[in-house]
């Protein structure tokens, strides 16, 4: 499958500390798959439990649209810290009595392809059952067009800063 097969209709514009902007395209789990910024287009791919498989740059927002702590390399997922190398949360699930059949440390019922757990409390959204996933195929021309539009916008902002 090609990277554009995973892109959904959503995304997010991020204002960076250096006054720059970037646009992140997200997949059905909320993971950043493509980033467009002033430096170009960057792609990211993840293993099922969120460890980086391939990255064309550094991005602090990544797997499941969560921020990764640079010091510990753990993701802050609401109520708990998540280790993508082990695929486990680092603390007990506060709602563990609600799910006695699951380990209180497991992420997304040990099924990260169909579920996500952005709050660290309980898994949500099995594909095709609880929510409808809208996927949009984006061609290379559309990526390039979005990049040019972003670049033009960024150049315009920078010209105002120089005044």
User: What pLDDT, on the 0 to 100 scale, is given for residue 142?
Assistant: 63
Answer yes or no: do 18 and 41 share one domain.
Answer: yes
User: What pLDDT, on the 0 to 100 scale, is given for residue 147?
Assistant: 66
CA atoms within 13 A on the CB side of 18: 6
Q: What percent of the chain stands above pLDDT 70?
A: 70
Answer yes or no: do 59 and 138 share one domain.
Answer: yes
Q: Where residue 85 falls among pLDDT bands split at 50, 70, 90?
A: very high
Task: DSSP for 87-124, please give it.
Answer: TEESS--TTGGG-TTS-TTBSGGG-TTT-B-TTSS--B
Q: Where residue 132 falls among pLDDT bands split at 50, 70, 90?
A: very low
Question: Per residue in 18-61, pLDDT tens?
Answer: 778 888 888 877 888 888 888 888 899 989 898 888 888 777 78
Answer yes or no: do 126 and 138 share one domain.
Answer: no
* Residue range of the domain that includes 143: 1-65+133-163
User: What pLDDT, on the 0 to 100 scale, is given for residue 74?
Assistant: 92
């Amino acid at each position: 499958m090609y990277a554009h097969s995973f892109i959904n209709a959503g995304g997010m514009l991020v204002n960076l500390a250096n006054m720059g902007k970037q646009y992140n395209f997200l997949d059905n789990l909320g993971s950043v798959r493509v980033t467009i910024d002033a430096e170009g287009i960057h792609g990211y791919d993840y293993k099922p439990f969120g460890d980086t498989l391939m990255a064309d740059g550094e991005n602090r927002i990544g797997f499941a649209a969560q921020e990764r702590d640079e010091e510990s390399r753990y993701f802050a997922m609401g109520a708990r810290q998540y280790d993508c190398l082990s695929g486990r949360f680092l603390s007990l699930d506060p709602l563990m009595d609600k799910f006695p059949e699951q380990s209180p440390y497991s992420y997304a019922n040990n099924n990260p392809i169909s579920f996500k757990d952005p709050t660290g409390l309980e898994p949500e959204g099995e594909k095709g059952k609880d929510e409808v996933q809208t996927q949009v195929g984006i061609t290379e021309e559309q990526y390039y067009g979005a990049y040019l539009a972003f670049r033009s916008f960024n150049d315009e902002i920078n010209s105002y800063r120089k005044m």
